[in-house]
Amino acid sequence: MTFIIDSTLREGMQSAHGCFTLEQSVEIATLLIRSGVDAIECGHPAVDNTEMLRVAAVVEAAGNTPVLAHARAHLGDIETVAKTGAAWVGIFLGVNDVSRRSRLPGSALTDLYGRIRETVAHARELGLRVRFTVEDSSRTDPAELVEAYLVAIEAGAERICFADTLGILEPQDTADRVRQLRKRCPGVDIEVHLHDDRGLAMANALAAVDAGATWMSTSVNGLGERAGITDYAALLANLHYRGTRELADGGLLNDLSRRVGAYARSMPDHRRPVVGRDVFHHVAKLHVRAVEREPGSYEWADPATFGRTGSVTRPQLPADPASWIVDPQVISATELRHHRAGPGERYVLVDNRFVPGADQYCIARRIPQLDDYGAGHVDTHVHHCDSLFMFLGEGDGYTGLSVEVTLDDRVFPVQSPASVFIPAGVAHGYRVVGGAGTYLNHVLAGEYNSSLIDPVGSN
């Protein structure tokens, strides 16, 4: 059996836009557990107190699912991990020439082996279980690599991790390295952590499994440094397809992907295996006729396995430019979740109903002068994509409209003219306080309701 440790909550925090809040981290961890992950890797608690509290919250939410937190080969880092309540610490240290020149100038190998021995032993004294990683394993001399692992194992490490930190290996190389580690370090679990800089992380992961690796490191949507690492949903799907690991709940993978994409402001592209919008979409006439008769003719797996449905429609913009000009329609706000009737009529300027394939939504609401605007007609809500509020008053220079805007747990007074950028994943709402004017809301999704994200467990 291949075990999976998902590192979205650590590696994902190192992606270009990844910065998960405590609450978002708990949501992600909850879905990971429900989807069958064997362990969760979360954060580097020594960074600051906020990070330590985030890791501790994930540990509490994870229950019986083990949580591993990262630490340099420093005693202080390891002691901070122990304070979070995490069961495991992932100690890492580079021992090759590049690491010694860039981070540890003047350090001899014997000094580094001594540091490994000291820190692993200290972690065990604190009651932590230890995974030891040689950073940049794939560019480390094989003899020095094995020696570092053997020192860690002798000091008490229960699992070693081979890291292709730059994503440079090819499948045969990966398999050879894992087989050598299996031979030289018998009786210990071997984990592999594979970056995708050359687009080979998934192929390398399967090669590592075949060569005897027992643990695989993944992240949702492959999120991580640079090009990221092995994709969680795709690896689960591949192991399921091979018949070596059953899916716990394939239907959760799309929601998990969507939330992580929103919170990281890095949605998966439409062609990403398993969770991409178009991966079960058939367009060619020959393919459409075939799958209508026999879906398996052009589908490697039943879409329902992953909570998906196949499609044979073509979501294409109308060819005639005249169709891109929209006559705005007055539509009740109550068709939108989290909205109630409020002051003024609401015009839908564009969405996929009026321009198929536009993939954006924009409304305009005329707000009249009132003595009492009520408690508000928009409850706080979250989109999986970025959106924008715009407020234009009736006065000179668009002045004259006063509102309160909620962003997460803060309320801001706003005077027109003003626009409010709302990143994906951020809870938001507004309330008119005074004046008259126009409110516009632009959302980067063609269907408003389908762009909403609800808290885990609310459905």
Residues with catalytic roles: 287
Residue 203 carries which side chain, given as an amino acid letter?
A
Q: Length of the chain, please?
A: 459
Locate the DSSP E strands across 36-141: 39-42, 67-72, 88-94, 129-135
What number of other Cβ atoms are within 10 A of residue 67's Cβ? 26
Q: How far apart are CA 276 and CA 308, in angstroms?
A: 10
Q: In the structure encoding, which two tokens stand for residue 168, read together?
A: 């440079």
Identify the H or E element spanning 323: none
Distance CA 183, CA 187 (A): 9
For the chain, the maximum distance between any two Cα atoms, rounded to a whole number of angstroms, is 80
Q: CA-to-CA distance for 297 and 104, rounded, in angstroms? A: 56
Buried b (16+ CB within 10 A) or exposed e, 274-289: bbbbebbbbeeeeebe
Element housing 406 (H / E): strand 401-407
Query: Facing residues of 163 across strands?
Result: 193
**Which residue reads 């795709």 in tokens?**
234
